[in-house]
Structure 1
Amino acid sequence: MAYLQPLLHLAQASLSGYSLFHAYISITNLQKYEKKTEKAAEWSRTAAQELHKTRTTQTSGTLAILSSLVVALGLTFKASSATFNTLFFNSINVAICYFAQNHIGNFWNGKAKVPFVQGYNDAITSTTIIRNHLQLLGVGWAISSVVELFRVVRG
């Protein structure tokens, strides 16, 4: 069982790295429209709320991915003994990934692609990929938590 955890954490770190790439794509594409959106936000409360939600969802996704990456890399290269701290970090990342993907989905699920606005459409696509990756990472952290709990109880 001890060999399973580092392999799982390495896979999580790899997926997290790939997800960061998509977060970068999404954020840079959305920044192309930031000035226009800020101008619209000066005159429209709805535009201001949309801008705020866009920023917070991108931030929560990126922070969740970074958390997964850092913890996965840390657990990949740590000692192989089972501890409650390891179980805690696994469990926390289940929650982080769940809440981030839920937060992203609540805002972005209703967003339609807009003709002739390729950067925005690419950002929607990348954000969907990020959300799917967060779901996979959450499942990975849940599996890792169960394995770690078994190792802690078994001693």
Structure 2
Amino acid sequence: MLLQIFHLAQAALAAYGGQQSYIAITNLRKYEETTKKLAQVSDTAEYRRNNTYTTQAAGVAALVLSFFVSLTLALRGGVYGFLTRYIYQGVTAAAVFFARGYMHNFWADKTPGLKGAVPKMGDYDEAQRKTHELLNVLDMLMATWVATFFVALIIGY
């Protein structure tokens, strides 16, 4: 029962991360035409534009995987064999870890709300804030996957 509660909390956390990601992506898409034009004249702009979307996609993939695996284990964890349950947790923890690292490598130096920011870029600044919140959610999810793995080892399913 304890692990079911933990897994339901993980699903809720992943849903919250999904909300943050949705807001970030929606706000980033408002600048799509501008970034396309910049990408045509600058290799750096094209690189940054591509990485903006691929890092967001990696975060979404980790959230979706985490959400469905946590719900599956909460609702039907006892149906699966011992090894399968632990493999699900380990694979999900690894996916969240790598997605978070990939996102962090790109977004870490982009601090939202800096003084002297470009005017009329408030939605982009909000997208950065939501992306940093998503990074925090991925940190928490990674920690919960490791914790539930060890709790499951100690008390079993």
Give the TM-score taking structure 1 as reference length. 0.92
1:51-72 per-residue CA deviation (whole Å, 9 max, x = no partner) reads: 0110111000010000000101
* Residue matched to 2:102: 103
Give the TM-score taking structure 2 as reference length. 0.90
Tell me whether 72-81 or 14-23 shows the greater mean CA deviation: 72-81
Once the two structures are superposed, the pairs formed by residues 115-154 of structure 1 within 5 Å of their partners are: 115-116=118-119, 117-151=121-155
1:147, distance to aligned residue in structure 2 (A): 2.1
Distance 1:125 1:42, change over 3 A: same
3-state SS in 2 of match to 1:139: helix
| Correspondence for 2:60 among 55, 59, 62 | 62
Contact 2:11 2:70 survives alignment (8 Å): yes
Residue type matched to 1:128 in 2?
A: H
3-state SS in 1 of match to 2:78: coil
Contact 1:86 1:148 survives alignment (8 Å): no
CA distance in 2, matches of 1:143, 1:122: 31
Structure 2: tracts of 5 or more residues without a match: none
CA distance in 2, matches of 1:83, 1:64: 23
Once the two structures are superposed, the pairs formed by residues 77-116 of structure 1 within 5 Å of their partners are: 77-80=75-78, 83-113=82-112, 114-116=117-119
Aligned length: 151
After superposition, the CA RMSD in angstroms is 1.6
Give the fraction of aligned pairs with identical amino acids, expressed as a percent: 32
Structure 1: tracts of 5 or more residues without a match: none
3-state SS in 2 of match to 1:80: helix
Distance 1:142 1:79, change over 3 A: closer
* Residue matched to 1:9: 7
* Residue matched to 1:26: 24
Residue type matched to 1:108 in 2?
A: W
